A and B are shown apart, each in its own frame.
Chain A
């Protein structure tokens, strides 16, 4: 079951964003994190030291584990920032400043 169902959610029309160039659908009201979870993606960062994958942990902006690069800005907390039409989301490697 989709959790939109028990809450009887009728979101506005879906829009497209990209994750590492791949198009995914997002809904108005979603954060970058909830859009990625809804698309089945659970990690979008690798750590500075050991390159390990990370995604959502605390979900409320405390832990900074869900850092992600959005529209070339690294280190955004995916659980806090609203997703916008056309956002270019990229998996963040390390500090996000190394390309």
Chain B
């Protein structure tokens, strides 16, 4: 299967780019893991659930309708249920990329797409910092609670605490309340002072924030700003969460602890970009984000990136970046330089929204001294069950000075999730800067698929020539 442009990810960035490029004559193949387009922000209820009013659990629905209808009316080929594990770099003197995916419910059947250009619109996932009790069933990421609600129309329990920091907490709290969950508290570690300091940059979104505030009020959700969760309680299941006030320096104030009974704790401390595919292609990163220029081009020729992978900034920024990328790709594939004046409106949105999220980032940072609340016996790496004490010992007693050494000494980050969840926590506890993980594959790949993918005749089907002779390979 071959195409002009392979767009990886059917969230806002990927959809905007696909529509912009295909409207300009580019043959686009949109490759996504979901059964339906939408990504995380516009995650749709599964078709079998027959939801007649999914918008009740969504925001900015009209934008979604435009994207959905635009996709249906376009010539974009949309591959659903395709989990991309690697994009291969162009061979020397051979133009084009090979996108490797797995499909089917068990993600075992290989599929490949060859493309002249690639747009990485891989989105992001949630960062959660550890605290005692965070591995108890009932503690979920805020985005996870949202995904289960939007996609599966289910909630975990009756009484929830939504906690952490960042703009995602607001829709999660109001979404759970709309679904009938009693939201016992919205616990945001940022205090009002930070918001006031960054008011000019944040002002544009005040009407949206006011809308959430009204909904929180209507559902009688108590908002605790300048507070943090210090512990989740329970034996085999969450029974309560203890929250406490923070002082202006980001330390827990003694004597302010309060225990809130709950069976669900939805927690998040911001978002991280998915950069595995970009890293394997050799794209330059700025910190944890894929570096792009004004046209959303990475520094690898033929590879563009848009949306959360280039820096967390929400759905509206992803749309602007995707649109610009799609127009840039359409021009560049024709061998012409695009005229940036054609996307001036999207460019203005991009600038404004990047400024906004830079301000959000500085206001909604986790408490400065969050590691003080992480006891030595708190599990940090959930996969390998590595405790904070082991990470501290690796640094303080065994002399580890970087994340890789911590990993080798403790196994933190060696499990199923490959450090995606514990990475920021281990970095914080070890006092090291987060470093790119450089995972060669974006998801687990069956060995048989991997073996065939390396064969020059392609990966879609085994031919007789692919089988070793009876004598075995020479």
Contacts and interface: CB of A to CB of B under 8 A. Distances in A.
Contacts of A73: 106
A50 B135 CA distance: 12
Contacts of B135: 52, 54
Contact of A64 (B45, B147, B149, B415): B415
Interface in B400-419: 415-417
A88 interface: no
Contact of A3 (B47, B179, B384, B421): B179
Nearest to B415: A64
Contact of A27 (B49, B53, B147): B49
Contacts of A3: 57, 149, 153-155, 179-180
Contacts, number: 164
A56 B416 CA distance: 15
B153 A7 contact: yes
B420 A4 contact: no
A33 B125 CA distance: 19
B143 interface: yes
Contact of B154 (A1, A37, A64): A37
A12 interface: yes
Interface string B429-464: 000000000000000000000000000000000000
B105 A29 contact: no
Nearest to A73: B106
A3 B181 CA distance: 9
B139 interface: yes
Q: Determine the interface band of chain A, counting residues with CB < 8 A from chain B.
A: 35 or more
B366 interface: no
A86 B303 CA distance: 44
A27 B48 contact: yes
Interface residues of B, number: 54
User: Secondary structure of the A side of the interface?
Assistant: loop
B203 interface: no
B399 interface: no
B121 interface: no
A9 B421 contact: no
Q: Which of A10, A27, A28, A65 has the most CB of B within 10 A?
A: A65
A8 B156 contact: no
Contact of A6 (B140, B157, B178): B178
Contacts of B106: 73, 76, 81
A37 B152 contact: yes
Nearest to A12: B48
Given A28-B49, A56-B144, A65-B382, A7 B154 contact: no
B287 to A, nearest CB: 20
17 contacts: A3-B179, A7-B45, A7-B54, A12-B50, A34-B151, A47-B385, A54-B137, A57-B141, A57-B144, A58-B126, A59-B141, A60-B143, A62-B421, A63-B382, A64-B383, A65-B383, A82-B105
Interface of B: 33, 40, 45-54, 56-57, 105-107, 125-126, 135-141, 143-149, 151-157, 178-180, 236-237, 382-385, 415-417, 420-421
